[in-house]
C-alpha cells in the first residue's frame, strides 16, 4: 500500500511534465544544391501554437558531428536536444553540410589542407542555411535577431569558425549581409582553425558557451599548432575571451575525452537553456569558467586523429 501511494504521487508529479512535453512537428526544406551532389537540406522542428497571433521565435541551429567525414542531421542522439528546445519555444533547425574529409588521411600540422578545406565547406554551407532562414523568416516564424548556432565536434568547429569569420569580415562571410550577426554560439568540443595564431576578433564575438573535455585527443582542448597555423580549442579560446572581456561560459570537463561532444545535449539541457536566457536574451556580461568533474561518470577513451581517420 505504501509503495502504491509513492507511485501515485510520482505519477501525479510527472503528469504535468508528460502533458506539456509535446513531440515537435518536423518539416524538411532544401536550402542549397552543391557540386552536382545530393541537395543540402534542413529539418525544422516546432511545436504547433494554437493562437491567432503568429509569434516570431528564437532559432537554434544545429550542426552535427562526425569529423567532417560522416554523420547525419537527424541522428537519434540529438533527439532530446531538439525536442527540449522546441518545447521551450524555439524553432530548432538541423542542417546538412558537405563532408570534405571523406576518404582523407588523418590531419596533422604537415597535412592540414584537407581539414582546412573541409571546415571552409561546412562554414559556407552554414552561411547558406542561415541565408535561407533569413530570407524565409516570416514563413518560419523566426526572430532574425535571435539566431543561435550550435554544434557537436565537427559541427562545433563549424559554428565557432563561422562566428569568427563573420566577426572578422572574412570574404567567406559576404554570403550574409553585413549588419547580421549570430546572437549566440554553443560548442560541444570545438575549436577554430587559424593562420594567425590564437584567434582574435575585430568585432566582439557572440556570447559563447563552450563544453570541452580536458582529455580530448581528437579536437584539441588547448591547441595543436605549427608556428601560427593550427587548431585552437576551447581552453585557449576561453582565455582569449577573458583577456578581452568577451562574455562566455566554459564548462571544462576534467578528465573527460571527446564524449563531451555528445552527453551535454542530454545531461545539461537546463544549463544550456540558462546560458541562452542570461547571455542572449538578458545580455548579461558574464565571464565564467566552470571546472566540472563528475566522479560517477567513467570517462570514455578519446580517439586520436590517427585512430579516427582510417
For the chain, which residues make up each domain, given as ranges? 24-308
The predicted-structure confidence for 49-96, as pLDDT tens digits, reads as follows: 665 566 799 999 999 999 999 999 999 999 999 999 999 999 999 999
Architecture in CATH of 24-308: 3-Layer(aba) Sandwich (3.40)
CA-CA distance, 96 to 126, in Å (whole number)? Answer: 8
What is the DSSP code (8-state) at residue 280?
Answer: I
Q: What is the pTM of this model?
A: 0.91
- Give the sheet arrangement for strand 208-213, strand by strand: 25-32, 40-46, 91-95, 57-63, 142-152, 184-188, 208-213, 248-253, 287-292
CB of 254 closer than 8 Å to CB of 293: yes
- List the single range of 12-26, 93-107, 162-176, 202-216 with lowest mean pLDDT: 12-26
Amino acid at each position: 500500500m505504501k509503495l502504491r501511494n509513492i507511485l501515485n504521487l510520482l505519477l501525479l508529479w510527472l503528469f504535468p511534465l508528460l502533458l506539456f512535453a509535446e513531440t515537435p512537428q518536423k518539416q524538411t526544406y532544401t536550402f542549397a544544391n552543391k557540386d552536382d551532389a545530393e541537395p543540402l537540406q534542413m529539418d525544422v522542428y516546432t511545436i504547433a501554437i494554437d493562437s491567432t497571433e503568429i509569434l516570431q521565435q528564437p532559432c537554434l541551429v544545429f550542426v552535427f558531428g562526425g569529423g567532417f567525414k560522416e554523420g547525419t542531421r537527424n541522428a537519434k542522439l540529438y533527439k532530446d536536444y531538439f525536442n527540449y528546445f522546441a518545447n521551450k519555444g524555439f524553432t530548432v533547425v538541423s542542417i546538412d553540410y558537405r563532408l570534405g574529409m571523406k576518404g582523407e588521411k588523418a590531419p596533422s600540422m604537415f597535412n592540414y589542407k584537407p581539414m582546412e578545406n573541409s571546415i571552409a565547406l561546412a562554414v559556407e554551407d552554414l552561411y547558406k542555411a542561415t541565408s535561407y532562414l533569413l530570407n524565409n523568416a516570416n514563413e518560419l516564424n523566426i526572430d532574425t535577431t535571435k539566431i543561435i548556432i550550435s554544434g557537436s565536434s565537427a559541427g562545433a568547429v563549424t559554428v565557432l569558425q563561422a562566428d569568427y569569420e563573420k566577426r572578422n569580415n572574412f570574404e567567406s562571410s559576404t554570403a550574409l549581409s553585413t549588419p547580421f550577426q549570430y546572437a549566440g554560439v554553443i560548442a560541444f568540443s570545438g575549436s577554430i582553425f587559424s593562420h594567425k595564431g590564437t584567434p582574435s576578433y575585430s568585432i566582439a564575438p557572440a556570447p559563447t558557451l563552450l563544453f570541452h573535455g580536458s582529455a580530448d585527443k581528437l579536437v584539441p582542448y588547448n591547441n595543436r599548432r605549427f608556428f601560427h597555423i593550427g587548431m585552437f580549442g576551447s581552453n585557449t579560446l576561453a582565455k582569449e575571451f577573458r583577456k578581452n572581456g568577451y562574455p562566455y561560459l566554459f564548462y571544462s570537463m576534467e578528465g573527460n575525452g571527446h564524449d563531451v561532444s555528445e552527453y551535454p545535449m542530454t545531461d545539461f539541457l537546463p544549463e544550456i537553456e540558462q546560458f541562452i536566457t542570461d547571455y542572449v536574451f538578458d545580455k548579461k556580461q558574464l565571464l565564467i569558467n566552470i571546472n566540472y568533474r563528475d566522479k560517477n561518470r567513467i570517462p570514455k577513451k578519446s580517439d586520436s586523429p590517427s585512430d579516427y581517420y582510417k
